[in-house]
Chain A
Amino acid sequence: MQSSKPGPVILIVATAVALFLLMPLIAVVPVSFTPARFLSMPSGNLSLRHYQALIDNPAWGQSILLSLRIGILSSAIATALATLFGLGIWMFQPRFSALLIGFVLLPLVVPPVVSAMTLYFLMTTLSAFNNWIGYDTWLGVGLAHAVMITPFAVVLILVALYQVDRRIDLAARGLGASLATRAFKVIIPNIKFGIATAALLSFVLSWEEIGVTLFITSVNAITLPRLMWMGLRDNIDPAIAAISVLLILVTAIILGIRIFIERRGAAKSQ
């Protein structure tokens, strides 16, 4: 074992990489306290004006609520569909499993800009038929996000399923359990931490989604990333720094919850 412990050279390089990874996240903090109206490092006195701006401008609050709503909807759709699909693959082991899984992972490997065009096409087509789900509506964005995040949910749920001992399902079958009983009483309780993780991470992905959202929204469905994008392109608004600091904190907390869920899952299964 000793022979493969990291030596001094690799530790120095890895530390540099770690700093590189964390630097931009740290740099946001001082910028958010600048007293100036433009992106700059504060010199001397600090100011909370950009945090105040988040409260004073109702657009931020509205976009946060909208993103929450869209995130919950799309995460629920993605998790439900992915759970059913994962159960199907695991219980029946259909002949073309690899192909089917490859197919549902498409939105993950296709370039985001292509997915964005594709979903733009879908939304404009839907808008021709109804006013509820379509271009620049919150239900439309929820639907589009569900398409984009489902592959992640599928992967997470399959990973959880592959850790389940097949013999417990065989035992249930041998005792005459129906398909529904096996699914809901035997398998799902064994992957509930996997499902919870999938739901949580799907929500985060929808909450952060910008590529597709840019294409399918204009003035009504302004999600939080969409609002940030508008403040980032030309004249950078330091309020973005303030919201970024808050988002980094939220992400850190959600990651903490994920690790907690997984630890509990691991502890229970032992």
Chain B
Amino acid sequence: MTGKWPTSRKILLLAPLLLFLGLAYVVPFLGVVRWSFTLPEPGLGQYHALFTDPLVQSVFFRTLRICLIVTAASLTMAYAIAYVWVRGSSVQRMLAEFCILVPFWISVLTRAFGWLAMLSNRGLINTWLQSAGIITEPLALARNEFGVIVGMTHFLIPFAVFPIASAMRSIDERVLLAARGMGASRTRIFWTVFVPLTYGGLIGAALIVFVFALGFFVTPAILGGGRSVMVAELVYLRIFQSPDWGLGAAISVVLVVFIGILLALMRRFIKPAHLVG
């Protein structure tokens, strides 16, 4: 099959995209790598700063903490709605699909704004609670870490749903029938048969969500209000507020290396089709 066509024809089809991404993405990335070693002065200074500067360190730890919380929250929530999407009645399935896909295709800015409309001092929740007389002062729900976690979880749930739902769909119905035939209760079938069969999908989902959460900066920038800076937002701030290109570049390089290792180790759990819904 492969040998029959001259190589030149294969190249005609494959080369344009490879060339395009090579020139417009890989080569410029090497430029960023160079920045990390040359700005403001040649050497490893920026990488040294990365591992010693207490501010950078605290941002790293906050990022890790937020990413773990967001991953756990979005996986749990995604599992419930994926279950209904895969195994519900046809009306339930349609409703679930609608609730998953509509937010997925709405811009990250609109969604972050939506959460401001919900959580800010004069937003929906505080207005309701105040008019109901439950609270007198508005609760601080946005412009802090809580707001960031809520906004990111909302953004990432659909990404967690796709691999989980795909794992649920591939479960052999007969296994569940067998468990039932042997007298297992519904709860027992769910926890000891169904859930373990979806571990692959759960790991894939955790990986996708964690990696995306790590590199996120639009939602934290809007819902964190500068008080809960995460690593990607730090890159943005280092470039646009305190021009420090070298450190921004060095953080970028470390992020790429870290994510590259993570994905290489776990690549069998990820299917590209899960990334686009």
**CB-contacts of B131-190 with A (<8 A):** 154, 157, 173, 176-177, 179-180, 186, 189
Tell me if B261 is interfacial: C-beta within 8 Å of chain A.
no
B154, B179, B256: the one contacting A114 at CB < 8 Å is B256
The total of chain B residues at the interface (CB under 8 A) is 92
Q: Mark A143-170, 1 if CB is under 8 A from B, else 0.
A: 1101100101011101100000000000
**CB-contacts of A66-109 with B (<8 A):** 81-82, 84-85, 87-89, 91-95, 100-101, 103-109
Chain B residue numbers with a CB within 8 Å of A120 are 239
- Nearest-CB distance from A95 to chain B (Å)? 7
Q: Report Cα–Cα, A247/B107, bound state, in Å.
A: 8
Chain B residue numbers with a CB within 8 Å of A219 are none
**A39 with B28: CB separation less than 8 A:** no
Residues of chain A having any CB pair with chain B under 8 Å? 1, 3-7, 10-11, 13-14, 16-18, 20-25, 27-28, 30-31, 38-41, 81-82, 84-85, 87-89, 91-95, 100-101, 103-122, 125, 143-144, 146-147, 150, 152, 154-156, 158-159, 179, 201, 204, 207-208, 210-211, 214-215, 225, 228-229, 232-233, 236, 240-241, 244, 247-248, 251-252, 254-255
**A103 with B256: CB separation less than 8 A:** no
- Nearest-CB distance from A7 to chain B (Å)? 6
**B113 with A241: CB separation less than 8 A:** yes
Chain A residue numbers with a CB within 8 Å of B259 are 109-111
Chain B residue numbers with a CB within 8 Å of A225 are 107, 109
Chain B residue numbers with a CB within 8 Å of A100 are 14, 18
With A81-B17, A210-B218 given, name 9 new contacts (CB 8 A): A13-B77, A24-B111, A92-B13, A122-B24, A125-B31, A150-B20, A179-B9, A201-B276, A225-B107
- Nearest-CB distance from A121 to chain B (Å)? 4
Tell me the interface secondary structure of chain A in the complex: helix
Chain B residue numbers with a CB within 8 Å of A5 are 87-89
Asked whether A28 and B110 contact (CB < 8 A) given A41-B123, A94-B10, A112-B232, the answer is: yes
